[in-house]
Chains A and B, each alone.
Chain A
Amino acid sequence: MNYPFDLRTLWFLLAGVLLTGYAILDGFDLGVGILLLGAKKDLDRRVLLNAIGPVWDGNEVWLVVGGGALFAAFPDVYATVFSGFYLPFMLLLVALIFRAAAIEFRSKETSHRWRQTWDVSFAVASVAIALLAGVALGNMVVGIPLDADFEYRGGFFNLLNPYALIVGLTTVSVFAMHGAIYLVLKTEGEVQAMVKGWARSTTIAFGLCYGLLTMATFVFAPHMAARIRETPWLILLPMLSLISIANVPREISAGREARAFISSSVGIATLLALFGMGTYPRIVISSPNPANSLTIYNAAASDVTLTTMTSIALLGMPFVLAYTIAIYQIFRGKVDVSKLHY
């Protein structure tokens, strides 16, 4: 079959879009979880949880669909990464389950201990999910030891290398900032004053992580900079990333929260695009044997499956985007304190 475009590249991009969708959407509700214990009063915590209440579940679906798309489009990537990162992914699953249970259960009893236990679970699980997702991404970019059959040949502690940990930390900080900005949008009065303070401090924390990550990328992942030297116009991507992130504190101090939220969303998207740009056409880099890397060529599903998946995406995703936007429209505006569910 001949196509006017490369199906594998298309699915590299689409998998990236799903991952980005997940990071932007679940990113803010994970961020709210990371910050939850910053609120001391039960009512305040309930306001924060109700700000994400109707949407967090749908946001998490982006991860599920992203995983399914990876499985279908690049089965070997899915198999290598999921079996290679066994322990971190098991911890990720436990965190995902605990988080879902925590938000579902916390307001179903009135005792302080019950609620405190679930709030701590929710916060710890949110931090763990962001950290583990970041560590997994960092490892894919910096490279992991793979053999000729694409099987992971390292141990658990190989995964906790400095670069991966820095990506993990950056993920936690960017989600915290993203979540704080979302909360400024969704709250009013005293609670809003509180979360505005969080937005400022998390922006600073993320700025530091971003600087650290940039330096670490030059040191540990030199192929990223090399890619830009080869294709100079790609410099626009890190520039856009820098501008959108620098714009966040500017919008916050000017009280334009919606624009700050868009800025941090663009910041997240460009950061992920940078990772994609640096690795393409590889998906998982093998280090020390780069020949064993998983690429869009040796790890892709058949053209029949990629074509089918493209039809599924063309058929389904316009509806998904339409009703997701409509639902966000319906739930826009401040949290109504008189109608708390959680």
Chain B
Amino acid sequence: MSTEVLARTQFALTCAFHYLFPPLSIGLGLILVIMEGIWLKTRNDDVKKMNRFWVHIFSLIFGLGVATGIVLEFEFGTNWATYARYVGDIFGSALAAEGVFAFFLESGFLALLVFGWDKVSPKVHFFSTCMVALGSTFSAVWIVIANSWMQTPAGYKIIETAHGPRAKIIDFWAMVFNPSTLQRLSHVVSAAWCSASFLVVSVSAYYLLKRRHQEMARLSMRIGMSVAIAGTLLQFVTGHESILEVAKNQPAKMASMEGHAKTGPLGLTLMGYVDKEGAAHGLTVPRVGSLLLAWDPTKPVMGLDQIPVKERPMVQPVFQLYHLMVACGVAMATIIFVATIKWRRGTLWESNWCLRALVAAVVLPQIANQAGWFTAEMGRQPWIVYHMLRTSEALSKTVKANLIFTSLVLFTLLYLLLGFLFFYLLNKRIKAGPAELPSPSDEVPTLREQGLVIA
């Protein structure tokens, strides 16, 4: 395999695995704020039990998110050194801002969130929870800014140096608010809310099905459902905004996502495949694409025929992954819609088939997250920075294919182990359910209790 394929595979693997965790911690951050806010108002013990249970889950997810996140920060330099030299002036400052404004905040206050229950007053603890939620959201802000700049660069100029060309920043705020930042950021953050709320809903539905911890489960179901409704609705709004942005700024990606070979009115293919020319075949409604994009069914949209072959992404995977993401979104909306009606009618708690669907639906936002990012990143190819630097020219000059192959094998094995352990421990934790609250008169628990119950 070529160095480029290996380096891209490694980045895709490490990034995709990492991305299982941050959406959950961003969304759970918000949900923990809601839970603890309710507890502060009601001082209800069930709320407190629920809150502490989710803090445990949060800390497990957060720990893995941090550990797998460092890998990405290193990889920009280890595997993509030419890219790092080229865009360091721009990309680096967003990354550094992420560290200062986001990582310090979330990791610092995480200490109080997890360990500070009896070290600080409830209000200070609540404040810490808010800071952790804010910190994890800030991290999304800065990394999405950096990535959006790679999709739609702005606020820079190219300077020739003795060591090759470099992108230099001329307007920091134009870089921050580049043409795709706001659409993509809102789409990513609301997707994070979906990921976490579907997890909360799934676990709550599991307890309701098993007739365990029912008071707590109903409570967390209500909170999870509320966030899931908001998140799913926002997904469609921000998704639409994102597609308008892609159509405007990234025509090659747009044409690949829709399998649009010839410039002309855009149809909407619900399901199908693309041929060698990049034309979609399948269940196609003509002109609806143009209608959705421009409120004009005859409006021509640029097709792949206008894009030089050397500047086209791989159309088939981009098309399929984009459609997979949309399909997951539609499925999420359907399930949440049905569950909301049942919730309003008061029949949700007893409806076994609906609860089972909610248990299973936890995977939908995760699949949509992955498929969505693969669409965005593969759709940008062959560019690493759109119309500026090709991925094939961004590699580290000193790193040979065999080294990347070795580290790829290493990470694959490590992540298989880590993924297995994560799901094993998460499953065990969920099966064990919320711990009883320690009463002030409790004696020192035995090792066994500490190992199983507290830890």
List residues of chain A with CB under 8 Å of any chain B CB: 42-43, 46, 53-55, 57-58, 60-61, 63-65, 67-69, 71-76, 78-84, 86-87, 89-90, 92-94, 96-98, 100-101, 104-105, 107-110, 148-153, 301-302, 304-305, 308-309, 312-313, 316-317, 320, 323-324, 327, 330-331, 337-342
Q: Which residues of B contact A58 (CB under 8 A)?
A: 104, 107-108, 110-111
The 10 closest A-B pairs by CB, nearest first: A75-B88, A82-B77, A72-B92, A65-B99, A100-B67, A83-B396, A83-B81, A316-B100, A71-B92, A54-B111
Q: Please give the distance in Å from A293's CB to the nearest CB on chain B.
A: 13
Decide: B115 and A105 in contact? CB cutoff 8 A.
no
Which among B32-40, B167-175, B284-292, B372-380 touches the partner chain? B167-175
Decide: A153 and B455 in contact? CB cutoff 8 A.
no
User: Which of B73, B82, B101, B110 is packed against the most chain A CB atoms within 10 Å?
Assistant: B73
Of B92, B112, B131, which is within 8 A of A330 by CB? B112
Decide: A89 and B74 in contact? CB cutoff 8 A.
yes
Q: Which residues of A contact B93 (CB under 8 A)?
A: 72, 301, 305, 308-309, 312
Q: Which residues of B contact A57 (CB under 8 A)?
A: 63, 66, 107, 110-111
In the complex, residue of chain B having the shortest beta-carbon distance to the beta carbon of A72: B92
A-B contact pairs, 5 of them (CB 8 A): A58-B107, A101-B421, A312-B93, A330-B116, A341-B455
In the complex, residue of chain B having the shortest beta-carbon distance to the beta carbon of A82: B77
Decide: B114 and A341 in contact? CB cutoff 8 A.
yes
Decide: B84 and A75 in contact? CB cutoff 8 A.
yes
Of A152, A308, A324, which is within 8 A of B172 by CB? A308
Of A74, A151, A153, A312, which is within 8 A of B97 by CB? A312
Decide: A78 and B111 in contact? CB cutoff 8 A.
no
Q: What 0/1 pattern do residues 51 to 76 of B give for CB contact below 8 A with A?
A: 00000000110011011111101101
Q: Which residues of B contact A153 (CB under 8 A)?
A: 398
Decide: B447 and A43 in contact? CB cutoff 8 A.
yes
Decide: B450 and A340 in contact? CB cutoff 8 A.
yes
Decide: A97 and B414 in contact? CB cutoff 8 A.
yes
Decide: B450 and A316 in contact? CB cutoff 8 A.
no
Decide: A149 and B163 in contact? CB cutoff 8 A.
yes
Q: What 0/1 pattern do residues 274 to 299 of B give for CB contact below 8 A with A?
A: 00000000000000000000000000
Q: Please give the distance in Å from A21's CB to the nearest CB on chain B.
A: 11
Decide: A78 and B92 in contact? CB cutoff 8 A.
yes
Decide: B71 and A97 in contact? CB cutoff 8 A.
yes
Q: Is B258 an interface residue (CB 8 A)?
A: no
Q: Which residues of A contact B418 (CB under 8 A)?
A: 97, 101
Of B91, B112, B425, B444, which is within 8 A of A337 by CB? B444
Decide: B119 and A76 in contact? CB cutoff 8 A.
no
Decide: B78 and A89 in contact? CB cutoff 8 A.
yes
In the complex, residue of chain B having the shortest beta-carbon distance to the beta carbon of A320: B104
Q: Is B345 an interface residue (CB 8 A)?
A: no
Q: Which residues of A contact B74 (CB under 8 A)?
A: 67, 82, 89, 92-93
Q: Please give the distance in Å from B442's CB to the nearest CB on chain A.
A: 8
Known: A72-B88, A331-B111. 18 other contacts (CB 8 A): A54-B112, A55-B111, A58-B108, A61-B104, A64-B99, A65-B96, A71-B77, A71-B96, A74-B88, A75-B92, A87-B407, A96-B70, A104-B60, A105-B421, A305-B89, A305-B92, A323-B108, A330-B116
Decide: B96 and A101 in contact? CB cutoff 8 A.
no
Q: Please give the distance in Å from B81's CB to the nearest CB on chain A.
A: 4
Q: Which residues of B contact A64 (CB under 8 A)?
A: 69-70, 73, 99, 103
Q: Please give the distance in Å from B70's CB to the nearest CB on chain A.
A: 6
Q: Which residues of A contact B172 (CB under 8 A)?
A: 304, 308
Decide: A90 and B444 in contact? CB cutoff 8 A.
no
How far, in angstroms, from A327 to B120 measured CA to CA in the complex?
10
Q: Which residues of A contact B116 (CB under 8 A)?
A: 54, 330
Q: Which residues of A contact B421 (CB under 8 A)?
A: 101, 105
Decide: A60 and B96 in contact? CB cutoff 8 A.
no
Q: Is B245 an interface residue (CB 8 A)?
A: no
Q: Which residues of B contact A67 (CB under 8 A)?
A: 73-74
Q: Which residues of A contact B100 (CB under 8 A)?
A: 65, 312-313, 316-317, 320
Decide: B89 and A75 in contact? CB cutoff 8 A.
yes
Q: Please give the distance in Å from B212's CB to the nearest CB on chain A.
A: 21
In the complex, residue of chain A having the shortest beta-carbon distance to the beta carbon of B164: A149
Decide: A82 and B78 in contact? CB cutoff 8 A.
yes
CB proximity to A under 8 Å, residues B149-192:
163-164, 168-170, 172
In the complex, residue of chain B having the shortest beta-carbon distance to the beta carbon of A337: B444
Of A53, A83, A337, which is within 8 A of B115 by CB? A53
Decide: B450 and A79 in contact? CB cutoff 8 A.
no
Decide: A61 and B88 in contact? CB cutoff 8 A.
no
User: Which of B74, B414, B454 is packed against the most chain A CB atoms within 10 Å?
Assistant: B74
* A79 touching B68 in the complex, CB below 8 Å, given contacts A107-B455, A312-B96, A327-B108: no
How far, in angstroms, from A87 to B73 measured CA to CA in the complex?
16
How far, in angstroms, from A58 to B103 measured CA to CA in the complex?
8
Q: Which residues of A contact B90 (CB under 8 A)?
A: 305
How far, in angstroms, from A53 to B98 measured CA to CA in the complex?
24
How far, in angstroms, from A327 to B96 measured CA to CA in the complex?
22
Decide: B96 and A309 in contact? CB cutoff 8 A.
yes
How far, in angstroms, from A73 to B88 measured CA to CA in the complex?
8
* A302 touching B89 in the complex, CB below 8 Å, given contacts A94-B414, A100-B67: yes
How far, in angstroms, from A92 to B74 measured CA to CA in the complex?
10
* A78 touching B88 in the complex, CB below 8 Å, given contacts A54-B115, A57-B63: yes
* A81 touching B77 in the complex, CB below 8 Å, given contacts A90-B407, A94-B414, A323-B109: yes
Q: Is B344 an interface residue (CB 8 A)?
A: no
Q: Which residues of A contact B450 (CB under 8 A)?
A: 46, 107, 340
In the complex, residue of chain A having the shortest beta-carbon distance to the beta carbon of B101: A316
In the complex, residue of chain B having the shortest beta-carbon distance to the beta carbon of A90: B407
Decide: B89 and A54 in contact? CB cutoff 8 A.
no
Decide: B81 and A80 in contact? CB cutoff 8 A.
yes
Q: Please give the distance in Å from A36's CB to the nearest CB on chain B.
A: 17
Q: Which residues of A contact B68 (CB under 8 A)?
A: 97
Q: Is B387 an interface residue (CB 8 A)?
A: no
Q: Which residues of A contact B108 (CB under 8 A)?
A: 58, 61, 320, 323-324, 327
Q: Is B338 an interface residue (CB 8 A)?
A: no
Q: Which residues of A contact B103 (CB under 8 A)?
A: 61, 64-65
Decide: B98 and A68 in contact? CB cutoff 8 A.
yes
Q: Is B399 an interface residue (CB 8 A)?
A: yes
Decide: B399 and A101 in contact? CB cutoff 8 A.
no
Q: Which residues of A contact B98 (CB under 8 A)?
A: 68
Decide: B414 and A72 in contact? CB cutoff 8 A.
no
Q: Please give the distance in Å from B427's CB to the nearest CB on chain A.
A: 12
Decide: A100 and B115 in contact? CB cutoff 8 A.
no
Q: Please give the distance in Å from B286's CB to the nearest CB on chain A.
A: 48
Decide: B85 and A79 in contact? CB cutoff 8 A.
yes
In the complex, residue of chain B having the shortest beta-carbon distance to the beta carbon of A302: B168
Decide: A324 and B169 in contact? CB cutoff 8 A.
no
In the complex, residue of chain B having the shortest beta-carbon distance to the beta carbon of A18: B99
